[in-house]
Structure 1
């Protein structure tokens, strides 16, 4: 039995919350705030988009190991699973990162899933993960689909030209059926999504809005490529609704952006509304820092 398997879910949740609170307290007490320029409107203290892209590339190989236990204890995996139950049709996932959502797409939910990110390092980890995942086994790539079509064609021709039906004949071989979902990978800038208007039934973004230079523009792009009646599924971290936590997030913003490329104190719901999207469902947890939003 694994170490985590020795505890009930309730114990793990309580332990996660205590760990989270302890971490916040430690940060408030011991970590010095980054120095700020005299001009409070200046943003040159933050890394450029190119620098943050390099940060993501560097984080990619060890990222899953770094966040796995944290996500489990804080119930993030459970929220990912709940969110992705809403995915359907043709899906575009923005800021896929290392593929933290790969294991949570329900079987048969979607006709196509396009995973995207602007970090080559993250995309490589994602591709390797998909290849080894249950998702990769269930949902095939275009090349494998073409191979399957060819196998079925050969089997049909052999059956038509041969009366043999023994175990060794090509016509008796059980060929797996064609899969109905395509998996694709797209390295792109989410502020200029390279797809036509109304291309997708679902757009997914989990913990990505914190990493964009222009989050409202990205949200507008998500809205643009959604079909009428399509849904935007968001799981994000942003500014807390607790004063002490807001203070900590503001105090440590510079440090967090430089280390993780992440602006972790944005007002997520306000950004969504500013982009012209309508919030249909919302929920906040983890001291108000985790936002679960379904919008149209």
Structure 2
């Protein structure tokens, strides 16, 4: 053996045996697969590119359905806008008189079917009921139409407690229904006979509201005035709605009488009022209704006193309880 080999053997013997890794100690993934060294400016997230999970993609069928839906919706919106512009152009070229009440003679037979769906969606039945159930004493309903309020009347006078706990009279002693359209009055009379076959103190008159006279005095001393006057959706078709309200005030009992109104007209919002204004001539010519009238201004011009006021449906539905202005 050479001297160099002897020296290396002596050096190994001096260092001792090489240490062995423990049998039960598990090496970490980082130890097994050391991360490659990166330059100092490298993004550390680049180390995970190879181990990142694949991103979830939307199935082609879902993407197709969404694309077709968006295309269909945009096409429908475009159709609505084109139809609106066409209607506006046609409406602005029309000459329609202020008095459109004669249209109801032609629409009387189909009127209920025409308004049924829209009134259900707007819950107008509940609003009619809440208004009409306040009627008491000798009652006059003007612009009664086809009698869409008939089912809500409490006929027959009786004493009961009011909402304040005071004893008062509830129910209708008599009811008079008035409308300018004879065809609509005939339909209302037919409905009433089926709903209340035993009630005799009722009248139906086809006449202008301005010609309605106060009731005749009864043997009990009542009369010369109506205790309650009801009007729903009627101001929109009258040539002089403020003058009509003033006349109704002269035949309403001055101390405790009320005029109950449920009307549609202008909105709280200018954008919606522009739509109503643009389409008003065509709507009035077709349905006999100027739906863009300012009901609040009409009431103020009438000189009647406002007891209650409410609005719904972006402000287009108006509810008023009025009475003659007291001196």
TM value normalised by structure 1: 0.70
Partner of residue 215 from structure 1, selected from 212, 217, 241: 241
> 2:252 aligned with 1:226, yes or no?
yes
Partner of residue 235 from structure 1, selected from 248, 262, 287: 262
Shift of 1:95: 0.2
> Partner residue of 1:64?
112
Q: Say which structure is richer in helix.
A: 1
What is the count of residue pairs matched by the alignment?
Answer: 222
Higher relative contact order (CA 8 A, sep 6+): 1
Give structure 2 stretches of 5+ with no counterpart. 1-77, 157-170, 216-222
> Partner residue of 1:116?
178
Partner of residue 30 from structure 1, selected from 60, 69, 83: 83
Partner of residue 231 from structure 2, selected from 205, 211, 218: 205
Contact 1:192/1:218 (<8 A) preserved: no
TM value normalised by structure 2: 0.64
Q: Cα deviation per residue 1:202-245 (whole Å; 9 max; x = unaligned)? A: 01000000010000110011101001121000000011111221
**Cα distance in 2 between the residues matched to 1:291 and 1:26:** 32
Shift of 1:28: 6.0
**Cα distance in 2 between the residues matched to 1:59 and 1:213:** 19
Shift of 1:192: 3.0
What does 1:47-196 correspond to in 2, within 5 Å? 47=97, 49=99, 52-108=100-156, 109-133=171-195, 136-140=196-200, 182-195=201-214
Give the secondary structure class of the aligned counterpart of 1:129. helix
Cα gap change, 1:128/1:35 in structure 2, threshold over 3 Å: closer, same or farther? closer
> 2:290 aligned with 1:263, yes or no?
yes
Shift of 1:195: 3.0
Cα gap change, 1:227/1:250 in structure 2, threshold over 3 Å: closer, same or farther? same
Structure number, greater radius of gyration: 2
Give structure 1 stretches of 5+ with no counterpart. 1-24, 38-43, 141-181
